[in-house]
Structure 1
Amino acid sequence: MHKSCLKVISLYVPLMRHEEQGHHREGGNVYLENSWFSQMLRGNGEQDPKKLTYNKYDVAESRVNTYLKADMVFLPINITKCHWYLAVVCASKGEIQVLDSFGEKMTNWQDLRYTLIGMERLIKHVAKKIQLDTSKWVHGIEVSSWKPRHMITEQMQKDVCSCGLWMINYMEYWTGTNLSNHVTQV
């Protein structure tokens, strides 16, 4: 289940990035992170704070600048071999919006915490070398201190294996305040 879901997510996110409506939503400009880089951020959050596992500086600088130009950064989060959900780093509100197909039942956000620590470390690493434009991020770049908030309160997923597909739907239809398309499981 996990490997095939990872493959689908890894292929579908780049496709969504190329669709024009995927970049501009009611809540502002969006950046859709891929599952590999999101996993790398989590790894950096779990590691020794003095070293990053990803050290290609030009790629890191480009990625951080892309984050800081976005109003919302969509991060696919995987509880290893267990469950997928979406975390939205919402710069204008200084909050982390959690969209989970299990609704408020899932509260183990350890993977999210590590991912946010990794994201913050990456931003700070780049900030040591260049001046960053943080004007859109009015609440600062300390994303690991931003409060997570459940945006999907009722359980939508009726089985034990479709969480990755739900997460993709959230990436595609989340506007920053609601889902632009009614998504259900039959």
Structure 2
Amino acid sequence: MCLLDEKEWVNDDVIDAYICCIKDQIHVQNDNKVYFESPFVISLLKRDGNLGIHQNSAFITEIVKKYMEHDMIELPINTSNTHWYLAILNSKKREIQVLESLCWKFDRDDLSITLRGIQFHFDLIKSQNLINEDWKDVDLTEWKITEQIQKPVKKDSSSCSLFMVKFLEYFTGSALSYAITQVYVFLFNRKYINFT
């Protein structure tokens, strides 16, 4: 129903379901180079970023360890349950790439907290000498944060989640392989409603 009502926000369950669909699509088969994270795990990483690692966080450490088998980790970030954007850990560039449909220049607290949670797990993995050779640098505080979208592409008040899933799908690590516009997102929304 949230896709039918412009006043409703797309929640984690809808985003998670679409991420599962993306993983199954042929055109995003990526030879294991991209890891698509779940909004549920992002919420646990935020928890760890706020409170530190708990005894029941071992399964999150195992998930973060899997990150090191990939070149890019795509993190769907939900700001205060009102706005979605995409953050990508790009290990080849040692860069945190942000794709945000409004190009807001605001303090990204949700991203900072999530990265701190990931860093806690990386530090634990590093203390156990389990760092993957391809990920020699796991100090995210040293990575540059870059805004990948230079001007707002979102023109309405409700489609940030749809932009974010399309960024998940079409960002190559350097650029979008397909132009994501408001018209494209509107058509995608209609198609997605019919699909579900």
Q: TM-score range by the shorter chain?
A: 0.7 to 0.9
Q: Offset of 1:61 from its aligned partner? A: 4.5
Runs of 4+ with >4 A deviation: none
Separation in 1 of the partners of 2:128 and 2:152? 44
Amino acid at match of 2:38: N
Q: Which residue of 2 aligns with 1:7?
A: 13
Q: Is 2:67 the counterpart of 1:67?
A: yes
Q: Which residue of 2 aligns with 1:101?
A: 101
Specify whether residues 75 and 23 from structure 1 end up closer, same or farther in structure 2 by C-alpha distance, changes over 3 A only.
Answer: farther
Separation in 2 of the partners of 1:16 and 1:141? 27
Specify whether residues 181 and 32 from structure 1 end up closer, same or farther in structure 2 by C-alpha distance, changes over 3 A only.
Answer: same
Pairwise mapping of residues 1-186 of structure 1 onto structure 2 (< 5 A)? 1-2=8-9, 4-24=10-30, 29-47=33-51, 49=52, 52-53=53-54, 55-57=56-58, 59-103=59-103, 105-129=104-128, 131-133=130-132, 135-138=133-136, 140-186=137-183
Please say which structure displays the higher CA radius of gyration: 2
Q: Offset of 1:88 from its aligned partner? A: 0.4
Specify whether residues 154 and 168 from structure 1 end up closer, same or farther in structure 2 by C-alpha distance, changes over 3 A only.
Answer: same
**How far does the alpha carbon of each residue in 1:76-100 deviate from its partner, in whole angstroms, 9 at most, with x for none?**
1111122110000011111100000
Identity of aligned residues (%): 30
Greater share of residues in helix: 2
Please say if residues 32 and 74 of structure 1, whose CA atoms lie closer than 8 Å, have aligned partners that are also in contact: yes
Higher relative contact order (CA 8 A, sep 6+): 1
The CA RMSD measured in Å over matched residues stands at 2.0
How many corresponding residue pairs? 176
Please give the secondary structure, in 2, of the residue aligned with 1:136.
helix
Unaligned runs of 5+ in 2: 1-7, 184-196
Separation in 1 of the partners of 2:129 and 2:26? 30
Please give the secondary structure, in 2, of the residue aligned with 1:115.
helix
Amino acid at match of 1:106: K
Q: Normalising to structure 2: TM-score of the pair?
A: 0.81
